[in-house]
């Protein structure tokens, strides 16, 4: 079964749905480790500074707050996990990180964009599914 699962997370409702599926899968193995990976989008980081959040600790705390609900869920289900925070373009950074590790499965939430929105805006889940070298579960 899976031993190393990456849960791509941004603190959204979509990520919480993905976390619920991750917990369900992880319950089947005592040896599984879930790595919650949150990629700080450089564009978002710039907007934090523009909005007056210049203190690095405040920004970091704000980002960690977004993960609390997911942490709570994993703790409640007694799932072994750790959190990794990366910086960069979410899709590209996540792909690079996954492809350099020994990962069995990536689980990512999807916003459910239509084809036009996906073409214009891009989709982290689509980039990940296309480019990583391990199985990917996209949770709608």
Domains of the chain: 4-139 (3.40.50.620)
**What pLDDT score was predicted for residue 112?**
62
Length of the chain: 140
| pLDDT > 60? residue 87 | yes
Please state the pTM of the whole predicted model: 0.83
**What pLDDT score was predicted for residue 41?**
83
Collapsing DSSP to helix, strand or coil, 55 comes out as: coil
Mean pLDDT to the nearest integer, 130-138: 96
- The H-or-E segment that residue 129 falls in is helix 124-131
**What pLDDT score was predicted for residue 66?**
72
Strands (E) located in 65-104: 81-87
The torsion region of residue 19 among left (phi > 0), alpha (psi -120 to 50) and beta comes to: alpha
Mean pLDDT to the nearest integer, 74-93: 94
Instruction: Look up tokens 């089947």; give the residue.
Output: 28
pLDDT band for 111, please (50, 70, 90 cuts).
confident
Tell me the per-residue pLDDT of 4-42, one tens digit each, with 9 for 90 and over.
Answer: 999 999 888 889 999 999 999 999 888 999 999 999 887
| pLDDT > 50? residue 103 | yes
């Amino acid at each position: 079964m899976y031993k190393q699962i990456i849960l791509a997370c941004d603190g959204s409702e979509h990520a919480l749905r993905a976390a619920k599926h991750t917990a369900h899968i992880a319950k089947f193995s005592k040896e599984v480790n879930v790595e919650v990976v949150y990629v700080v989008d450089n564009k978002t980081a710039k907007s934090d500074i523009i909005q007056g959040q210049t203190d690095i600790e405040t920004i970091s705390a704000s980002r960690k707050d977004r993960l609390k609900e997911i942490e709570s869920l994993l703790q409640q289900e007694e799932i072994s996990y750790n959190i990794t925070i990366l910086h960069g373009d979410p899709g590209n950074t996540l792909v690079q990180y996954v492809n350099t590790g020994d990962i069995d499965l990536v689980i990512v939430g999807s916003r459910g964009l239509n084809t036009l929105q996906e073409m214009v805006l891009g989709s982290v889940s689509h980039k990940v599914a296309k480019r990583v070298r391990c199985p990917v579960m996209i949770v709608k």
